[in-house]
């Protein structure tokens, strides 16, 4: 098939798609694969060999990149399941350790399994002492995500005994290390920015309590963790723990497909998460709310968001997959109210502004027509700010929560047959031409 010929897809009754090349009438049968639930996929793996054509899908809006058993999203219905369990139930009833176990191993743990897993993780909460010195190479005013990328990437220089990806034991130890050390490194980036000493982890605390302890305790004063804030942090971590083949998870898989070690792959995921269209949106939401400043200015910003010639977008709105209310945003909104009530901050202008912006956007024809609903990042920033976490740390907290998801996907790929990820392209550059010496140009 050449680019001048048109091709159309037709749906036959059986489990195949028939591709017809209009100009020649040639047909190609493409197998259709069914998942447990959700849309079928057309298997195009042999398409190039049989037709000489690639598929073209920048942004991967119609492309399934892998088979997975971890997370399911129904974007139209606003459903998110981890290993089959609804996110709302996990956020309400589970804890982060259990969700990590569920994502990694596929089932909820028994009492004994959970206790063993907790011990395995807490065994790895400290980082090699030399990493403290590594931190000192960064400027104090570095963005914490810049520090995260560097320090997590550097873990492969410290933990050689867990970088053999062909060894299941190495893979398991690396997985536990990454989940455990991510919280410690996250807190260290904060302490470093303040110029305060690093605080060692406390293994008697739960994951989210320990994270808050490492961020807010000092050598001269213990931090007593408010249970409402610890619960909010736990929920934030659970809600962020996985989201199937999003940009950062796909980055982790692609990096891993070359055989790179897990620490390097997760560092790649952190880099991908940082962008404002992805995990950086929580920071961008808060900056946007502060820029809007008051309810009176909302119409002006809504107008800008709708203007094609203005790059401004309403941050925390819209999603590639959700064309309905993001189920995580609902839990976030509820948690936001709980936290602000607990802290006596219910009348905070920021929350009022966020709620008014949401109300106006949800009624606006542009947002309704394009199905742009609040996403997970819309309320998470308000909660994190109320807890006292600085805006630059928001995406770091997201990365800490997303780590089990990244690792579960990396493990899933490495544990089964896989090939290096290598997309092709539609080339539109110059055809072959001869080199012209400088004096002839």
Task: Check binding of 327 to ligand CMC (CB under 6 A).
Answer: no
- Between residues 269 and 279, which has the closer beta carbon with respect to ligand CMC? 279
Give the closest residue to 77 by CA, choosing from 326, 328, 430, 300: 326
Can you tell me the distance from the alpha carbon of 78 to that of 59, in angstroms, rounded to the nearest whole number?
A: 21
The stretch among 87-95, 176-184, 231-239, 278-286 that binds ligand CMC (CB under 6 A) is 278-286
Tell me which of 376, 384, 397, 407 binds ligand CMC, using CB under 6 A.
376
- E strand or H helix that includes residue 50: helix 47-51
- Between residues 204 and 309, which has the closer beta carbon with respect to ligand CMC? 309
The stretch among 229-237, 263-271, 276-284, 291-299 that binds ligand CMC (CB under 6 A) is 276-284
- E strand or H helix that includes residue 369: helix 365-369
Tell me which of 318, 327, 381, 404 binds ligand CMC, using CB under 6 A.
318
186 dihedral zone (left: phi>0; alpha: psi -120 to 50; beta): alpha
Alpha helices in 85-223 (DSSP H): 87-93, 96-105, 111-122, 130-135, 144-154, 168-194, 207-216
**How far is residue 357 from each of residues 155, 290, 311, 334, measured CA to CA in Å?**
42, 12, 19, 17
User: For residue 160, what are the contacts with CB-CB under 8 A and spacing of at least 6?
Assistant: none
Q: Which residues inside 190-249 make contact with ligand CMC, applying CB under 6 A?
A: 246
Q: From the candidates 242, 326, 364, 377, which is the catalytic residue?
A: 377
Q: Are strands 79-82 and 71-74 parallel, antiparallel or unpaired?
A: antiparallel
Shortest CB 316 distance to ligand CMC, Å: 5
Q: Which residues inside 52-81 make contact with ligand CMC, applying CB under 6 A?
A: 59
Q: Is 278 a catalytic residue?
A: no
- Between residues 124 and 243, which has the closer beta carbon with respect to ligand CMC? 243
- Between residues 28 and 301, which has the closer beta carbon with respect to ligand CMC? 301
Shortest CB 16 distance to ligand CMC, Å: 29
Question: Is there a contact between 99 and 241 (Cβ–Cβ < 8 Å)?
Answer: yes
Q: From the candidates 176, 319, 326, 364, which is the catalytic residue?
A: 319
- Between residues 319 and 385, which has the closer beta carbon with respect to ligand CMC? 319
Question: Is there a contact between 144 and 389 (Cβ–Cβ < 8 Å)?
Answer: no
Task: Check binding of 395 to ligand CMC (CB under 6 A).
Answer: no
Alpha helices in 155-224 (DSSP H): 168-194, 207-216
Shortest CB 290 distance to ligand CMC, Å: 16
Task: Check binding of 374 to ligand CMC (CB under 6 A).
Answer: no
User: At CA 425, angle to CA 419 and CA 431, rounded to 5?
Assistant: 130
Can you tell me the distance from the alpha carbon of 313 to that of 10, in angstroms, rounded to the nearest whole number?
A: 37
Shortest CB 296 distance to ligand CMC, Å: 20
Shortest CB 155 distance to ligand CMC, Å: 23
Q: Is 377 a catalytic residue?
A: yes
Task: Check binding of 147 to ligand CMC (CB under 6 A).
Answer: no
Q: Indicate the DSSP class of residue 15.
A: S
Question: Is there a contact between 46 and 40 (Cβ–Cβ < 8 Å)?
Answer: no
Give the closest residue to 160 by CA, choosing from 311, 261, 286, 66: 261
- Between residues 208 and 380, which has the closer beta carbon with respect to ligand CMC? 380
Binding pattern for the stretch 334-373 against ligand CMC, x by CB under 6 A and - elsewhere: ------------------------------------x-x-
Q: Which residues contribute to the site for ligand CMC (CB under 6 A)?
A: 59, 246, 277-279, 281, 305, 313-320, 370, 372, 375-377
* Residues that are catalytic: 319, 377
């Amino acid at each position: 098939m050449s680019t001048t010929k048109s091709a159309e897809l037709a749906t036959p009754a059986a489990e195949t798609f028939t591709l017809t090349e209009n100009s020649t009438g040639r047909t190609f049968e493409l197998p259709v694969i069914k998942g447990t639930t959700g849309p079928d996929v057309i298997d195009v793996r042999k398409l190039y060999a049989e037709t000489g054509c690639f598929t073209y899908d920048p942004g991967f809006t119609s492309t399934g990149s892998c088979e997975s058993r971890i997370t399911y999203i129904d974007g139209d219905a606003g459903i998110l399941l981890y290993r089959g369990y609804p996110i709302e139930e996990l956020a309400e009833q589970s804890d982060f350790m259990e969700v990590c176990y569920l994502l990694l191993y596929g089932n909820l743990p028994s009492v004994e399994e959970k206790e063993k897993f907790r011990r395995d993780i807490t065994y790895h909460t400290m980082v090699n002492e030399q990493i403290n010195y590594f931190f000192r190479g960064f400027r104090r005013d570095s963005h914490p995500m810049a520090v995260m990328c560097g320090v997590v990437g550097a873990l492969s220089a410290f933990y050689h005994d867990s970088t053999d990806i062909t060894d299941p034991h190495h893979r398991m130890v690396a997985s536990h290390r990454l989940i455990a050390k991510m919280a410690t490194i996250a807190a260290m980036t904060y302490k470093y920015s303040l110029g305060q000493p690093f605080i060692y982890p406390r293994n008697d605390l739960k994951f989210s309590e320990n994270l808050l302890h490492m961020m807010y305790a000092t050598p001269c004063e213990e931090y007593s963790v408010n249970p409402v804030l610890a619960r909010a942090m736990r929920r934030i971590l659970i809600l962020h723990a996985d989201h199937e083949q999003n940009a950062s998870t796909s980055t982790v898989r692609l990096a891993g497909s070359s055989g790179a070690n897990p620490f390097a792959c997760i560092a790649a995921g952190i880099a991908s998460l940082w962008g404002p269209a992805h995990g950086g949106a929580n920071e961008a939401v808060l900056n946007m709310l502060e820029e809007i400043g008051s309810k009176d200015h909302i119409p002006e910003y809504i107008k800008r968001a709708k203007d094609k010639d203005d790059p401004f977008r309403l941050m925390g709105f819209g999603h590639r997959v959700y064309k309905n209310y993001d189920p995580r945003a609902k839990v976030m909104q509820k948690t936001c109210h709980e936290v602000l009530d607990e802290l006596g901050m219910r009348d905070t202008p920021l929350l009022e502004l966020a709620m008014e912006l949401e109300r106006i956007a949800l009624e606006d024809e542009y947002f309704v027509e394009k199905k742009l609903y609040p996403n997970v990042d819309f309320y998470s920033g308000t909660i994190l700010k109320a807890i006292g976490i600085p805006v630059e740390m928001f995406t770091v907290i997201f990365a800490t929560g997303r780590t089990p998801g990244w690792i579960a996907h990396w493990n899933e790929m490495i544990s089964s047959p896989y090939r290096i990820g290598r997309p092709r392209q539609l080339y539109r550059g110059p055809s072959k031409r001869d080199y012209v010496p400088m004096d002839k140009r």
